[in-house]
Amino acid sequence: MQGLFTFAAEAQETPGLLQTILPFVLIIVVFYLLFWRPQQKRRQQESRMQNTLTPGVEVMTKAGIYGTVVEVRDNDVELEISPGTRIRMVKAGIGEVVTPQEPDDDTPVEDRPDFPANGSDDDKDNPRS
């Protein structure tokens, strides 16, 4: 009977150092690839955008305020958020540059067929007086 117990004890080997550390290494690699690296790239892009700000550019702050850059200094910018209203804020507070979307053609909005003021088929039922 004694030989049977010693055989069972020998069969249960302790896991090696590699088997113990491997799950932790895999978790660290996954965190790096999914969280740290993309966040680092976003910070670099944001920093580049903030360093290339020029007067006249329309921006949106991280707080959701739209404004036009009036003056750029070393670490801060001055924004005009409405005519005559200016605020000074840190460059890091600028979230993104807003680029206005230009229409495909040069037709004024009022002359386009989808503009509601034009006589569409719906207006024929309700004539204007």
Backbone phi, then psi, for 62, in 5-degree steps? -70, -20
Buried b or exposed e, range 42-72, using 16+ CB within 10 angstroms: eeeebeebbeebeeebebebeeeeebbbeeb
How do residues 43-94 score in pLDDT, each as one tens digit? 999 999 988 999 999 999 999 999 999 999 989 999 999 999 999 999 999 9
Max alpha carbon distance in the chain (Å)? 110
pTM of the model: 0.54
> Would you state the structure tokens that stand for residue 51, as one six-digit string?
């360093």
How do residues 68-82 score in pLDDT, each as one tens digit? 999 999 899 999 999
Amino acid at 75: N
**What is the Cα–Cα distance from 58 to 36, expressed in whole angstroms?**
30
